[in-house]
Each structure stands twice: as C-alpha cells, then as structure tokens.
Chain A
Amino acid sequence: MNDKAETMPGGKALLDRQDERVKHEEGFAGSVKAFWSQVRSGDLGSLPVVVGLVIIWTVFQLLNPVFLSSNNLANLLFDSSTIGVISLGIVCVLMVAQIDLSVGSVSGLASAITGVLWVESGWPVWLAILAALAVGTLIGALYALLFNSLGMPSFVSTLAGLLAFLGAQLYLLGSNGSINLPYDSPLVSFGQLLTMPDWVSYGLAALAGIGLFVTGYRTAARRREAGLSAESLASLLAKAVVVIAAVEFVVFYLNQSRGVPWLFGLFIALVLAMNYALQRTKWGRSMRAVGGNPEAARRAGIPVKRIYLSAFMLCSTLAALGGILGAARLASASQQAGTGDVNLNAIAAAVIGGTSLFGGRGNAYSALLGIIVIESIASGLTLLNLSSSLRYMITGAVLAIAVIVDSLSRRSRVSHGRA
C-alpha cells in the first residue's frame, strides 16, 4: 500500500492516480496483493483451472506413474489440439452469450467431406480441406441468419443442426461407414507424427517470453511518457523470466521423447491469434460488448447482427477445422467422427477454462487450459483401464463443477460490484 500519490517528474500527480481515495498496489508485492483481492471478490480468471489441473495431475501420477511421462504428455497434446480448435470456436459464441451445440456434428461432416472429396473423388487435399472449411463457414452463416432474421434461439437452431449435419455426414459416408486416409500423406503425418525439431521448439519458447517482455516494455514506456502509471521494469522482467523458464522446461521435458507436435503448434498459433483478435481489435471489443449488453452495443453504433454472424461463422469454421485435424489424427473419416463426447468436451473445455456461459467474459486461453484439463482426465482414466461409462460420468461431474464455479464467482462479482 502506498499512501502518497505517485508523482510525475514535474511533481504533478499521474493522470490516473489523482484520486486519493483509491488504493493502488505498487511493485511486485503489490501485484500479488492486487491479484489476491481480485480473486477474493470473485474475479477468478484462470485460477480454478490451474488449481484443478495440479490436483488432477497429482492424483493420476500417484495412481499411474506413466501419466506424467514425456511420451504420454506428447500424446495428450496431439489429442488436445483437435478438440481444442473446436473449443476455440465455442469461446467465440459464448463471448456473445450464444451457444453452438452442433460443433461435433459439423466437425464430423467436415471430416466426411474431406475424406469423400480427397480420397474418393481424387481432389487435391488442400482443395478438399478448403471445401470442408467453406461448408463449415456456411453452416455458421445459416445459424446467424436464423438467429438474426427469425429470432430463433441458437440453442434450438444448433440442436437441430446437431441432428441434421450428423445425418449429412452419414449420408456422405454411405454404406461403407468410413474412409481411410492415406497413411503416408502429409495431412496424416501432420496429425499423427510430425513434431518440431528441438531448436525450433526451444526458440519459440524463448520468443514467447521475449515477445511478452518487449510488448510490455513498449506499453509501459508509452504510458510513462503520457503521464499514466506504468508497470515497473522489474515486474516485467520477472514475468518474462518466469514464462521463459516454465515454457522451456515443458519443451525440454517433451523433447525427451517425441517433442512438441506441430499440430499443437498450430493450435497455439490459433489461440494466440484469437487472443489478439479478442483483446486488441475493435471486433473483439464489439464481441464483448454484444455479450455483455446487446442493446447498449446497438446504441453505441456496433453492427450487432454482423457481430453475431462473425461469431457463428468463426465457430463453425473452427469446428470444421477441428474435424479435419481429427480425421488426420485418426487417419480416417468415419461415422463415429464428431459423435459421442466431442460436442460436450469442446463446450466443457471453454467453460472449464473460464469463459463464462453468461457472455462477455472470457479469453482464448480458456480453450487451451480447458482442453488440457479434459484430455488429462480422459488420458488418466484410459491409463487406469476405466470403461467409457465411468469416463463420461467423471467428465460430466467436472463440467458441473466448472459451471458451479462460474455461477458462484459471478454471484460473488455482483456482490463485490465487479459483475
């Protein structure tokens, strides 16, 4: 705590530190304190999921020492990437307080389209992928049309889509039921085998921390110049060092066996791009505004219908991409693709990661964190040879807990005036 107002060189109080009633935490210890008070008032951010992840990993590691082995973690990252991409789309629709229940079916349909066009009709693989993605985009546009023009709740329209597109997938695959993708093709290698060379993975990990530091330093410099309070150099450096050390350690551990999958690299790249779009662009700001208060957004001149359109289209397109990657991962486009728990896992991951079901609150990283939780549970239970009946029940319970945490923290935010 700091009693006297922080001052500029000229002796004038900083532009954003002139109100003496407000406590501002300074320095590194201050940041920790501020974070703690934020958590106590219900603004939990990623804290519950990180705590949850530590518990899950500890329990499974105690039950089966293979769980935290480098090889198993690399597999886990392969598995996480496909559904993680779908979950990233769910973050988009949840942000505008809508839902898409058909992402599983859309991903299955996309894998079927890729398989049929590429393997059966002999199209070039890239063209088949583009066609599948385009179908995904069109499906999203259809949902947006139903929602914007006819006022059909997305819950219902996407529930209808869940059945309809599952039907389309079964129709496309015909009586055979599945199409095997060529094992030696680049797409399947990408989905199953390809990992980064060591130097690339170490380099990217270092780049993450350096990038964090440089952008943080630039912002701080601009703020100081403009007479606003700014983060201290020490705190920036500490953050960057922690990030580099943590990521380099993970990379080092993964490089002990298979290394970091390129597939996971693609997923991370999409997460970072989505994070940038949601945090630093006008579009992202509009998404949050529409999710928080659509009427206020409309009166501020935001094209609310176009924002809904973009959210639905992005979600279905990412679902299609996830389906294609899933087909590459399994080397087949089958009737089972996208069915079962894919839908629920993708939605659960976004919610577990901290994106609110009530709209306007969340970030792209929640897809990453959430899917790692979900896949850790799946992987751990598989290692214990538990049947899928138990797996479903446990994953369902975890989702319920995540939603309870979301609702409780929302209530706490309201009572602390931070909703």
Chain B
Amino acid sequence: MPDVLPHANPAGELVLALRGISKNFGAVSALTHIDLDVHAGEVVALVGDNGAGKSTLVKVLAGVHQPSSGTIEFAGKPVKLTSPSTALDLGIATVFQDLALCENLDVVANIFLGREKDPMRLDEVGMEIRAWQLLNELSARIPSVREPVASLSGGQRQTVAIARSLLLEPKVILLDEPTAALGVAQTAEVLDLIERVRERGLGVVMISHNMEDVRAVADRIVVLRLGRNNGVFTPDSTNQDLVSAITGASDNSVSRRAGRRAASTPAQENHP
C-alpha cells in the first residue's frame, strides 16, 4: 500500500474531522474505520471504484445515514448529524449524485426548498431575484426559473443543485459527482466555481471518477477502497499510483509476492 503523504497544502484550520467512521447495512460493511480531514480553504477529492463507499460517506456527512460507529468533529466540537437539517444548520451543504430535486416544483422553489423566505407569506419576488443571482454567479444557462425542474436538461439540473447548496453560505460543501452530467464548458464553470468557493475559505469535498477534474482542482486526493481508507495523494502523484490505489491492483497476490521478495533482496520490481 502507498504511504500516507503529509499534508501537501497546509490550508486553514480543521473544519471537519472524521475518526473511525463505520457504517453497516445489515451484514454488509459499507464503511470501515474511515478517517477524513477537511480544512478550511482546501479541496479534498474522494476517489474510489464503484462500491468503494464514497456516496455512503457523503450521505453520512449529509446526515442522511447515521454511522454505526466513530466520531465526527465539526469546528473542533464533536457533533451528531442526526438529520439532513442538522447538517445544513451546521454549515455542511451537499449536492447529491441524484441531485435530490423535486421535479414538480420550479427552479426557485427547489433552490429555496426547506429554506423559504417568510414562511407565512412566501417572498416569491425576493426568492426569484436571489435565485437569478446564484445562477448568474455560476454563469448558468437556465431559460426560466419558473419552469418545473422536469423540463431542464441534466446539466441544468446539476447547476440548480449546486446553486441550492450555496444558498446557505455553508462552511463545507460536499459534491457527489458534480461534473458527471456536464458538458465541457459547464464542467469548466463548475471547476472554476469550486476554486472560487475554496478561495472564500470553504472546505470542499468532491467525489469524482474523472481524474483530470480531480487533478485540476484538488489539494489532496483521498482514496477509498472497499469501504476503507486506501491512501492520501497529492495531485502530482502519478496516475499509476492513483489507479493502483483505487483498483487495489498493488495489493494483489503478485504485489504481495513482490513485497516478500523485496524484503529479502533490496532490488524491487513492482509490476502487478
């Protein structure tokens, strides 16, 4: 297994710290003793193969799933994320992979869902203006904010979901596959946005399968494999190192054999 590298970019203070998080679904251990640190003003990329537990980890942080064991510290204090609203109130905003939008509601209603202005007399005009501001910050191409979300394309929905996460001025943003459904220009916009968010001093956790995107913005790359930590990398580590950490190719019978031989002879060959 690759060594855990020291923190490449000593960013701001520790905002979010996970210690020994495990999550079981019946007999299946989706997460086992996961540790994760997120500092203010850094982008942490979470990578791993399908079924590595990335989305489960994001759902634990979003308060959707409760961990079976382990502790979560937010801004130095231990917290329990019992529901999505606790996480939101603390300042952890999430853009889910399935976006979690209500297709029957319009864009404004979706952006402000659960956070409407003036509960007894909705401030539709105020909400619409703020919605346009957020969307314009993202250079979004949304034809009308009064159309139901069902009428938008995948990329437009992604933009709406990201705009929603920014509404509450969060401290940490979790993005589950933020660029998977986006075109070239929109991907660049989202990556720009992630950098802008980092400059504002927010912690960003981003899940992605796209190594190019990950290298472009991430300060640290955390690899998960089969629900366990499998190393932390810097963006300049080689593709081969990353891929082998993700696929576990360096931990197969061939590499173990190579490791045994390395113990007896100093010359080491590490071809899987």
Contact = CB atoms under 8 A, between A and B. Distances in A.
B is a partner of A: yes
Interface of A: 15-16, 19, 21-22, 219, 222-223, 226-228, 280-283, 285-286, 288-289, 291-293, 295-303, 360-361, 413-414, 416-419
B151 A417 contact: yes
Given A299-B100, A301-B84, A360-B105, 11 more contacts: A15-B129, A22-B143, A219-B125, A226-B125, A282-B122, A289-B113, A298-B84, A301-B85, A303-B85, A360-B104, A418-B151
B105 A289 contact: yes
A159 B247 CA distance: 53
A360 to B, nearest CB: 4
Given A299-B94, A301-B84, A419-B150, A223 B125 contact: yes
A296 B23 CA distance: 22
Interface residues of B, number: 39
B5 interface: no
A145 B151 CA distance: 36
B116 A293 contact: no
Contact of A295 (B100, B104, B147): B100
Given A19-B141, A299-B96, A417-B151, A292 B122 contact: no
| Secondary structure class of chain B's binding surface, majority of residues | loop
A16 B113 contact: no
Contacts of A298: 64, 84
Interface string B79-98: 00001110011000010100
A414 B150 CA distance: 8
B109 interface: yes
Nearest to B146: A16
Interface of B: 62, 64, 83-85, 88-89, 94, 96, 100-105, 109, 113-116, 119-122, 124-125, 128-129, 132, 141-148, 150-151
Contact of A280 (B88, B122, B141): B122
A398 B158 CA distance: 42
B100 A300 contact: yes
B114 A302 contact: yes
A22 B144 contact: yes
B172 to A, nearest CB: 16
A282 B117 CA distance: 8
Contact of A288 (B96, B105, B150): B105
Contacts of B89: 301
Given A283-B119, A299-B64, A291 B104 contact: yes
8 contacts: A228-B132, A281-B122, A286-B114, A289-B102, A289-B113, A299-B84, A301-B83, A301-B114
Which of A15, A285, A296 has most B Cβ within 10 Å?
Answer: A296
A228 B104 contact: no
Which of B100, B125, B128 has most A Cβ within 10 Å?
Answer: B125
Contact of B128 (A16, A283, A292, A361): A16
3 nearest A-B pairs in the assembled complex, by CB-CB distance: A301-B85, A292-B104, A282-B119
A15 B114 contact: no
Nearest to B59: A299
A418 B105 contact: no
Given A19-B142, A219-B125, A283-B119, A296 B84 contact: no
A419 B113 contact: no
Nearest to B140: A19
A292 B64 contact: no
B101 A293 contact: yes
A418 B150 contact: yes
Given A226-B129, A301-B83, A285 B94 contact: no
A416 B143 CA distance: 16
Contacts of B125: 219, 222-223, 226, 228
A297 B113 CA distance: 8
A402 B142 CA distance: 34
Contact of A21 (B100, B122, B143, B150): B143
B132 A15 contact: yes
Nearest to A358: B104
Contacts of A219: 124-125
